[in-house]
Amino acid sequence: MKKRLLPAILLMACLYGHAQDAKMNAFVANLMAKMTLDEKIGQLNLVTPGGAVTGSVVSQGVDENIRKGAVGGLFGITGPEKVRKAQEIAVNNSRLHIPLIFGLDVIHGHRTIFPIPLGLSCSWDTALIRKSASIAATEATADGLNWAFSPMVDIARDARWGRISEGSGEDPFLGAQIAKAMVQGYQGKDYSSAHNVMACVKHFALYGAAEAGRDYNTVDMGRVKMYEYYLPPYKAAVDAGVGSVMSSFNEIDGVPATGNKWLLTDLLRKQWGFKGFVVSDYTSISEMINHGIGDLQTVSARALSAGLDMDMVAEGFLSTTKKSLAEGKVTQKQIDDACRRILEAKYALGLFTDPYRYMDDTRPAKEILTADTRAAARGIAAHSLVLLKNDQQTLPLQKTGTIALVGPLADSRRNMLGTWSVSGDYTKSVSLLEGIKNVAGSNVNIVYAKGANIADDSMLVKRANALGVEIETDAKSPAELINEAVAAAAKADVIVAALGEAADMTGEASSRSDINIPESQENLLKALVQTGKPVVLVLFNGRPLTLTWEDKHVPAILDAWFAGTEAGNAIADVLFGSYNPSGKITASFPRNVGQIPVYYNHKNTGRPFHGEDFAKFKSDYLDVPNEPLYPFGYGLSYTSFSYGEVKLNKTALKGNETLTATIIVTNTGKYAGEETVQLYISDPVASLTRAVEDLKGFKKVYLQPGESKEVVFTITTNELKFYNSNLQYDWEAGQFFVRIGSNSRDVKSAEVLWSK
């Protein structure tokens, strides 16, 4: 009976889906039949009235253009009242009353800010990440919005790039899982609830591979690498039903992504079956003039013909498309297709039924920055922290004695939110000093000293402060500040040093060629270490930093990233052991900048170097090992985990058989804790060179002290597949190594033969 019921239900769901599509198609076709050419082009125009947005160009004459039907969407305003005003102009004053779509950079939370995406990814917890996106969607829709410019899924292997902070690190498998979770969190099952927003996966594509880690720089990449390592997260978002895609600033094969037909039509729509609309990045249409492929009319025509539907701020579509149509540079069908896709999105969001659907004045007070969203942010933030070092169990801290809390990031609410938190109010965030006071209890004496400015280099300070003051220069001299800190440390049993980057030292247009802790703070740290007291370094950073000196001399290092509104509380929860850290880094930490790009899934080369010492005529360096300081997947716990051997159900398989790999993980320490068990597969011989290993699965286990659990991975030929020279995704028979462990370096391995 049950067996018969399921196909019937699926069939009914399918028929219902078709009927809904038919209804939408009829509605949109009917509307488009009434639209003039100008009105159709108007739908392709996305404007911003200014405010908390990037870029130097802000749209002019917004109200008038909305009235004329020359605007399809608006971004950069928040609050139901403001959004309603703009919507009223469109609905009451434009000829066809077509509602606007309202977007914003909702990146890691909207008003309640979660850790920066790089930090979030270190939780390896897709359920929590989905939840963070879902809370962000609730807050954003309570604020009148229906479109989030997120998730940002650009793979990055270069920590110099400031925007590595906005993505999920270097691995495509993990990146794809997170992309899917974010889309699901934002969009829900469909848009039937007014608590969901349309997501916008970005920046399509390869933006994270900018040469030299310099933002907006050229990208040059072969197709195999692209398909294997950079495209999977975007594809995962498309497969998860993402409603929109944002094109990137960079070029691909000499053609800027925004005008790249291969990318936006052949790959995205034809190969991947994407049905939503593509929006440009901020003025990325007009920036194609600088790229050197033509004037505004030429580049706008190029973008539209490539499959780009909506022009963010450049107004190239608005000002040139009519002329291009008359001159045969674009077709009516291209204009119609773009217009239709945008209207379909508005239809799906329910805006034609109720243009004010997301503008409920009573919602903000009930749904924004509530006790519940803050509690969720605190828990999620704790999961994103990574314990990089903990000698002699320096951590967790005792709730007795005196703690010297030192450093320019210790008493800073401002720097807790991190980059791209445009709607976050830093005055509502919790500093580390406040968090420690909240969690430590009355038996702990806290002495605080600033100890240093975030940076003393006036050029760096000026540039990092471009969007507002985040790096304050103290009236006291660097020597005075250090002396105060050392005096505070003298009274303490343990020193907690809150050091690192200011929030805007990462993010857009915040690339660095040196990714160290700035010198002013390094001097402070050295002075603190010299006191001989135990030092815990709490690191604030939007990228992997070079920590070679710190790793050698500081007993405990906790990477806190920029953990959001509840940062201080979450960090204190971890410092005092209320939460046992479980985060694992998702981007390798280089030993020095010269190692970049350094990433775990590298190739073997013809002269591989395996060993400790330098070997002449091998692929290595004279002055530094090949391995990063901390490898991908690495992160400690207050407890310790031991791994048994990898047990396979078979060591020889054929065709579509299934392999089961089992390993026993034991908590050998004193604390209960969570471990992320990682599965890597190595394919040492193939028709083209493969990476030394690739992540293919991970599982979380929670273990009490002394407890063991069996962790089982099911492996099929899907996990063996890769893109071959013809860009076919397939597997090849041969020998494979199944590697399971606590990070990409520390794994147990078992061999298997798999034949066709």
d(CA 41, CA 319): 9
53 versus 403: smaller Cβ distance to ligand BGC: 53
Kindly state the helix (H) or strand (E) to which residue 751 belongs, with its residue range. strand 747-755
> What 3-state DSSP class applies to 337?
helix
35 versus 53: smaller Cβ distance to ligand BGC: 53
Q: Is 286 in the site for ligand BGC (CB under 6 A)?
A: no
Contact flags string 138-157 toward ligand BGC, x per CB under 6 A: -----------x--------
112 versus 258: smaller Cβ distance to ligand BGC: 258
Q: Is 54 in the site for ligand BGC (CB under 6 A)?
A: yes
Nearest to 530 by CA among 553, 498, 556: 553
| Stretch touching ligand BGC by CB under 6 A, among 48-56, 229-237, 262-270, 554-562 | 48-56
Helices (H), 561-717: 567-575
d(CA 132, CA 643): 32
d(CA 618, CA 597): 18
Q: Is 504 in the site for ligand BGC (CB under 6 A)?
A: no
In sequence order, the 6+-apart residues with CB closer than 8 A to the CB of 528 are 406, 451, 485, 486, 489, 495, 497, 535
Helices (H), 514-672: 519-530, 548-553, 567-575
φ, ψ of residue 84 in degrees (nearest 5): -60, -40
Contact flags string 89-118 toward ligand BGC, x per CB under 6 A: ----------------x-------------
| Stretch touching ligand BGC by CB under 6 A, among 52-60, 361-369, 519-527, 641-649 | 52-60
Q: Is 543 in the site for ligand BGC (CB under 6 A)?
A: no
- Which of 287, 508, 559, 719 binds ligand BGC (CB under 6 A)? It is 508
CB of residue 55 vs ligand BGC: minimum separation in angstroms? 6
463, two tokens: 């540039």
Q: What is the DSSP string of 619-644?
A: S--SSS-SS-SB-TT--B-SS-EEE-
57 versus 701: smaller Cβ distance to ligand BGC: 57
Q: Is 202 in the site for ligand BGC (CB under 6 A)?
A: yes
The partner residues of 530 in beta bridges, in order of sequence, read: none
CB of residue 508 vs ligand BGC: minimum separation in angstroms? 6
105 versus 559: smaller Cβ distance to ligand BGC: 105
Q: Is 576 in the site for ligand BGC (CB under 6 A)?
A: no
Q: Are 635 and 743 within 8 A, CB to CB?
A: yes
152 versus 539: smaller Cβ distance to ligand BGC: 152
Given the residues 125, 154, 158, 281, select the one marked as catalytic: 281
Q: Is 234 in the site for ligand BGC (CB under 6 A)?
A: no
281 is catalytic: yes
114 versus 641: smaller Cβ distance to ligand BGC: 114
Q: Is 55 in the site for ligand BGC (CB under 6 A)?
A: yes
CB of residue 258 vs ligand BGC: minimum separation in angstroms? 12
CB of residue 204 vs ligand BGC: minimum separation in angstroms? 11
CB of residue 103 vs ligand BGC: minimum separation in angstroms? 8
d(CA 430, CA 438): 10
Residue 464 CB neighbours (<10 A):
23
C-alpha pair distances (Å), 515 with each of 211, 501, 599: 16, 9, 16
Region for 436 from its dihedrals, namely left if φ exceeds 0, alpha if ψ lies in -120 to 50, beta otherwise = alpha
Q: Is 53 in the site for ligand BGC (CB under 6 A)?
A: yes
27 versus 216: smaller Cβ distance to ligand BGC: 216
| Stretch touching ligand BGC by CB under 6 A, among 47-55, 221-229, 582-590, 680-688 | 47-55
342 versus 677: smaller Cβ distance to ligand BGC: 342
d(CA 673, CA 649): 28
CB of residue 57 vs ligand BGC: minimum separation in angstroms? 11
The partner residues of 279 in beta bridges, in order of sequence, read: 246, 310
Nearest to 313 by CA among 86, 46, 104: 46
Q: Are 461 and 471 within 8 A, CB to CB?
A: yes
SS (H, E, C) 170-230: CCHHHHHHHHHHHHHHHHCCCCCCCCCCEEEEEEECCHHHCHHHCCCCCCCCCHHHHHHHH
CB of residue 149 vs ligand BGC: minimum separation in angstroms? 4
In sequence order, the 6+-apart residues with CB closer than 8 A to the CB of 756 are 654, 655, 733
Helices (H), 74-148: 80-88, 117-121, 126-142
Q: How many residues bind ligand BGC (CB under 6 A)?
A: 9
Q: In whole angstroms, what separates CA 390 from the centre of its chain? A: 27
d(CA 438, CA 432): 10
55 versus 294: smaller Cβ distance to ligand BGC: 55
Q: Is 282 in the site for ligand BGC (CB under 6 A)?
A: yes
| Stretch touching ligand BGC by CB under 6 A, among 50-58, 127-135, 456-464, 656-664 | 50-58
- Which of 170, 251, 281, 470 binds ligand BGC (CB under 6 A)? It is 281
Region for 204 from its dihedrals, namely left if φ exceeds 0, alpha if ψ lies in -120 to 50, beta otherwise = beta
Q: Is 597 in the site for ligand BGC (CB under 6 A)?
A: no
203 versus 591: smaller Cβ distance to ligand BGC: 203
CB of residue 313 vs ligand BGC: minimum separation in angstroms? 8
Chain residues in the site for ligand BGC (CB under 6 A)? 53-55, 105, 149, 202, 281-282, 508
Residues classed as catalytic: 281
